[in-house]
Amino acid sequence: MFSKILIANRGEIACRVAATCRRLGIRTVAVYSEADAQAAHVAACDEAVAIGPAEARQSYLRGDRILQAAQATGAQAIHPGYGFLSENAEFARQCAQAGVVFIGPPAEAMQAMGLKAESKRLMQGAGVPLVPGYHGAAQDPALLKAEAERIGFPVLIKASAGGGGKGMREVHAATDFDAALASCRREAQSSFGNDAVLIERLVRNPRHIEIQVFADTHGHALWLFERDCSMQRRHQKVIEEAPAPGLPDALRRAMGEAAVAAARAVGYVGAGTVEFIAECDAAGVPQGFYFMEMNTRLQVEHPVTEAITGLDLVEWQLRVASGQALPLQQAEVQGRGHAIEARLYAEHPEAGFLPSTGPLRRLALPPHVAFKVARDDGVRIDSGVREGDAITPFYDPMIAKLIAWGDSREQARHRLLQALAATRIVGLQTNVQFLHRLLELPAFAEGMLDTGLIARQQERLLAAPSMPQALACAAAVGALLETERAQQTADPWSACDSFSNGVLPPRTLRFDSPWGVLDCTLFAAAAGQPQRLLAPGLDQSQPFACSVQALRSGQAAQEMALVVTLGAQRASLVVVLQDAAAFQVFAAGEQALLQRCAADLGASAVAQGGGRLTAPMPGKIIALHVQPGDTVQAGAPLLVLEAMKMEHTLNAPSAGCVSELLCAVGDQVSEGAQLLRIEAPATEAAQP
């Protein structure tokens, strides 16, 4: 076994690998960019080496610097984690040449499976089922379009060197093919340095099921059950579980055996995942499966496999890489219970899941264990950030992974729901509420899964918070009053009670919220009577009481646990104060940000900005679809912004004429930067 390894990654996976190494008595070396000098993964390791600027291509993708760090610190091996250099065959070769063990498969196996087209040809030879499509080397656009027409629309264009949903486009008509191909190629080139694509028939009612495989240098290979990864948005996973619900045992065995055959076909060593697309009947039960790709690394969702098997897959990776045989034979692999993982992202679900950046002013996670694989712990959390850290535009916007295990799928689901309801993140947008709603969907609860479920249920998943507006207002008012009481001193002039000539007039409060602008009026308590609150949804002012159960001051935010009584309604809520005017209200898995505004500020002023298009996140302008003078309809594509290695098409917020372009192709823009102006149509502009 190794005595020291270097972890060539960052974030939660670097922390995850370091935890297993610590348990095994292996010293670890972290590498970090300028943006990560104070990151959690640096603190988790025994040593750390700076490798360059924040931009990944100048730091975490610099194999030469990482090898130099390994040699300088005496690390015997490099664990690449996932992403970055984890599937880079050339880097694996460079490690071998330098006498440093690459904790992953041989470069030849990685190269064979790294290109989707080549891997599919190999799988065909190994007898693994394939989706009908074009996997050839010729890449002429006219040929690709002709192949798509031969296969029959709808088709899926996929980056040959891709993964993680990058460089993938659904095309439902020939008229859309050229634009989709160009976009796919740009994203593939940006993400993988290779713009080659393949084309496949779009499988109807599909489920994404993957098999965890392991192989050693002694000729042994086995599979460790399957994971269902069908819950995806923008072709990227957000919920994964093991085992796959409703999968017939015979089909499970067939998929496992096919996955092992795939690994043997390329001389695989170490941990890998063979991904299949399963075509399902109307009830969601898989009837057959096709090979999609092989990920030649550990997967983000590996904790659910660890949860049901009780095995530490990182430990297995280390043992295999050091020359040891697999610890178990296939017949000895056992699974128990069910596990579900939810990926917590900094993103705007309501804005097409665009990434969100900013500081984690409050990061409250539920009671959990960290990186422990025992099956009876209930909830495990893998995270690489801490309260006070920032999510930057340079790397993946994942905040944490919540993994819940249970004796049954329903128990695991309920434990995960409770964990999400207890999660409070403030300072940027997140998908916590979205995940909670997804787990509550009847179709999900019943195991009726397919990759289109999120798109079909988007209206329900992205609706305004379901908590009563009156209670949300009452919670914000209660938190405001508690803050004001805490600020009072013995000086009577510090009192915030609106005292004037012995009269306590009604106090008007206005909040900007997910429901729009909300007005409420607080009536001061008369002798022997409670305060009363007039809030949205109430016909008349109601007796109002608010008791503060707890008060916590974080690094940049205060948190209060409140019990609010509003007439006949009584509820327990949590409010996090971002500042004196911003109140994040949490209740039963739902959340709403209420921002106090001036009494004369109307809805139109809050939603100002009509004809301007602004950048939803920092990024690079890579394509412009309009020029000054062009007339556009609402929803028409205007430009393409590249951020976090993905393309995001920004559409017209309203119909009109493009009056001014404020950016050009190649420009780096900051979040909120104005990109162009749209003037309303003349008929609208002329109206009073």
* Cα–Cα–Cα angle for 336, 15, 52, rounded to 5 degrees: 145
CB 207 within 8 A of CB 450: yes
Stretches where the chain sits below pLDDT 50 are 493-494, 498-503, 599-610, 684-688
Q: What would the pLDDT profile of 553-609 be if each residue is shown by its tens digit?
A: 665 678 999 999 888 888 999 999 987 789 999 999 999 999 988 643 333 333 333
Cis preceding-peptide flag for 492 (omega within 30 of 0):
no
With b for 16 or more beta-carbon neighbours within 10 A and e for fewer, the 637-655 pattern comes to: ebbbbbbbbbbbebebbee
Nearest Cα neighbor of 404 from 492, 483, 340 is 340
CB 120 within 8 A of CB 291: yes
Q: Is 688 exposed, middle or buried (0-12, 13-18, 19+ CB in 10 A)?
A: exposed
The interaxial angle of helices 313-321 and 11-24, nearest 10 deg, is 70
The predicted pLDDT at position 283 comes to 77
What is the pTM for the complete model shown? Answer: 0.82
H-helix or E-strand spanning residue 503? none
Query: Which residue's entry shows tokens 């009156």?
Result: 470
Q: Which two tokens stand for residue 482?
A: 């508690």
With b for 16 or more beta-carbon neighbours within 10 A and e for fewer, the 12-44 pattern comes to: bbbbbbbbbbeeeebbbbbbbbebbeebbbbeb
Pairing assessment for the beta strands 656-661 and 631-632 based on DSSP bridges = antiparallel
Q: Which two tokens stand for residue 149?
A: 């027409």
Strand partners, 344: 400
Q: Which two tokens stand for residue 307?
A: 């949860």
The predicted pLDDT at position 526 comes to 73
The predicted pLDDT at position 555 comes to 59
The predicted pLDDT at position 496 comes to 52
Catalytic residue set: 297
Gap between the Cα atoms of 499 and 645, Å rounded = 56
Residue 153: partners with Cβ closer than 8 Å, 6 or more residues away: 171, 172, 173, 174
Q: Which domains does the chain have, with CATH numbers?
A: 4-103 (3.40.50.20), 132-201 (3.30.1490.20), 206-461 (3.30.470.20), 469-604 (3.30.700), 609-685 (2.40.50.100)
Q: Is 418 exposed, middle or buried (0-12, 13-18, 19+ CB in 10 A)?
A: middle
Gap between the Cα atoms of 209 and 287, Å rounded = 12
H-helix or E-strand spanning residue 111? helix 107-114
Gap between the Cα atoms of 533 and 511, Å rounded = 14
φ/ψ of residue 395, rounded to 5: -135, 175
Strand partners, 355: 347
Q: Which two tokens stand for residue 550?
A: 């707890």
Q: Which two tokens stand for residue 247?
A: 């999968």
Can you give the C-alpha Rg of the chain in angstroms? Answer: 27
Gap between the Cα atoms of 305 and 310, Å rounded = 8
How many CB atoms sit inside 10 A of residue 679's CB?
Answer: 15
